[in-house]
């Protein structure tokens, strides 16, 4: 569809979680990478050979995760909301990107906002909750 319509965030499904307490951001990023490694749908891209769309499962160790840690210390609530919205609304290029990205906004040493976005090709409303649970369990 996106090859016909062009880039759009209409199929993005985002979840934002406010995390309070000590957090090892590197461990969270590794946990996210582990989830991607275990689920082929989260590392599938959609290329085209001779104009024919094809699914390509990226090998687990080669999937480039869209993971970023952003220092949001001192940001206003409006600026944080705008930045989180930008992550949620950024269209995927499924010809090159896996259908999952996440950003961790560090608000304070013990307060973070995790924004995870998955394309509908890789998950639906029913699978988002288990995906978040798997991420939380490492």
Residue 22 contacts by C-beta under 8 Å, 6 or more apart in sequence?
A: 110
Environment class of 24 (CB within 10 Å of its CB; exposed 0-12, middle 13-18, buried 19+): exposed
Parse the chain into domains and list their residue ranges.
2-137
- pLDDT given at position 132: 64
Its pTM stands at 0.86
pLDDT in tens, 81-114: 999 999 999 999 999 899 999 999 999 999 999 9
Letter string b/e over residues 73-92, b meaning 16 or more CB atoms within 10 A of that residue's CB: eebeeeebeebbeebbebeb
Letter string b/e over residues 45-67, b meaning 16 or more CB atoms within 10 A of that residue's CB: bbeeeeeeeeeeebeeeebebbb
CATH architecture observed for domain 2-137: 2-Layer Sandwich (3.30)
For residue 51, give the 3-state DSSP assignment: coil
How long is the chain? Answer: 138
Q: Distance from CA of residue 27 to its chain's centroid?
A: 16
- pLDDT given at position 138: 47
pLDDT in tens, 17-59: 999 999 999 999 999 999 899 889 999 998 888 888 899 999 9
């Amino acid at each position: 569809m996106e090859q016909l319509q062009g880039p759009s965030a209409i199929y993005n499904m985002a979840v934002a979680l406010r995390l309070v307490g000590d957090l090892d951001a590197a461990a969270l990023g590794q946990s996210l990478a582990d989830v991607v490694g275990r689920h082929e749908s989260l590392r599938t891209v959609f290329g085209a050979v001779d104009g024919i769309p094809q699914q390509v499962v990226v090998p687990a160790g080669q999937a480039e995760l869209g993971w970023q840690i952003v220092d949001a210390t001192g940001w206003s609530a409006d600026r944080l909301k705008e930045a989180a919205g930008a992550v949620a609304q950024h269209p995927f290029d499924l010809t090159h990107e896996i259908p999952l990205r996440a950003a961790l906004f560090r608000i304070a040493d013990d307060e973070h906002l995790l924004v995870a976005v998955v394309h509908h090709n890789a998950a639906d409303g029913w699978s988002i909750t288990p995906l978040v649970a798997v991420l939380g369990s490492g």
